[in-house]
Amino acid sequence: MGWVEIDGSYGEGGGQILRTSVALSVITGRPVRIYNIRANRPNPGLRPQHLHAVLALKELSDARVKGASVGSTRLEFIPGRPEPKHIRVPVKTAGSITLVLQALLPAMAFVGSSFEVTGGTDVPWSPPVDYLKHVTFYALERMGLKVELEIKRRGHYPKGGGLVVGEVEPWEERKPLKALRWGRIERFAGMSHATNLPAHVAERQAKAAKERLGEVYSAPVEIETEVSRSLGPGSGIVVWAETDKLRLGGDALGKKGKPAEVVGREAADELIEALKTGMAADRFLGDQLIPFLAFTGGEVGVSEITNHLVTNVWVVEKFFGKVFEVEGEIGRPGTVRVVRRVEV
């Protein structure tokens, strides 16, 4: 099979193009050539977390790789045969663990594997690990894919030092996902954490989020608190609504000078905004499900069609041709429908 050529500056032009492209290369066995990697970013090319994701997929599939170095704007990835393995990914910085897992999970799903990733669990511009565990994995389980994940240690910017371990079971039964609009909210839940900080930080974040959600909805709210030690201080909260369809989430990170109450309300407000649209998935989940939906079929309503989602669709279709129908404008609620399911 010939090379798949991917322009890394397309659409939102970030690291996600790389993550999805290399994962699909492993799944399909097709070599991929990516150029203009992160060309539109202030520091273009591969950053450490992207490099670690590539190296982990290289190990999983015994691939041959050219251009795998920090700062590289071109990458050639020629996969071998993927086999179940225990993959260790040592991101030395606060590089996002969840973004590394975004690259690994689709490929691991087809063989089953375990993982151990160090880095940042709760860092800016990436999904917090509790979101992945409680929102993303909940949806994937509805699609027949089981992923276990345990947070051994938190890691915040700039020191990192987080540790996450887990296992992906082989994806035997790929179930179509049909989730357009939610009908009722069963409950709200969440996780509020404080690392190397007083316990009251986590408690105040949780209390503020609970009060804010209670102002708008009558469903029960249970937010757990966690206090821990790691390399550096940090706090954050993830809240989610369990509906009759999927879970929608909202999150916020603490920072110096930002009151815990503001952090809690911010997460609750993000969730409330997503719920107001009536759609079954929030904007982050919609984009994360794209590579998996291609193999299950179905249709999903998302609270916002994002650049990330549209770019992910484009990458999938570079490998398989027409797969999706996206209805709705960028920045507005819409639906994603699989018009031709991919068989591998």
Distances (CA, A) of 233 to 80, 129, 131, 160: 41, 16, 20, 10
Structure tokens at 334: 């819409």
Structure tokens at 197: 């900080």
Q: Tell me the residue type at 302.
A: V
287 annotated among ligand-binding-site residues:
yes
Q: From CA 97, how far away is CA 163, in angstroms rounded?
A: 8
Structure tokens at 160: 């990192």
Distances (CA, A) of 103 to 26, 141, 201, 238: 10, 18, 33, 22
Q: H/E element holding 337?
A: strand 334-338
Q: Are 97 and 91 in contact (CB under 8 A)?
A: yes
User: Does the N-terminal peptide bond of residue 158 adopt cis geometry, omega within 30 degrees of 0?
Assistant: yes
CA angle (28, 32, 33) in 5-degree steps: 175
Q: H/E element holding 162?
A: strand 162-168
Q: What residues are annotated to the active site?
A: 308
Give the residue among 286, 296, 256, 19 at the shortest CA–CA distance from 135. Answer: 286
Q: Are 275 and 219 in contact (CB under 8 A)?
A: no
Q: From CA 206, how far away is CA 193, in angstroms rounded?
A: 9
How many Cβ atoms from other residues are within 10 Å of residue 65's Cβ? 15
285 annotated among ligand-binding-site residues:
yes
Q: H/E element holding 115?
A: strand 113-119
49 annotated among ligand-binding-site residues:
no
Name the H helices within 44-136: 48-61, 97-109, 129-131
Question: How many CA atoms are closer than 13 Å to the CA of 214, on its beta-carbon side?
Answer: 11
Binding residues: 102, 284-288
Binding residues for ATP: 102, 284-288
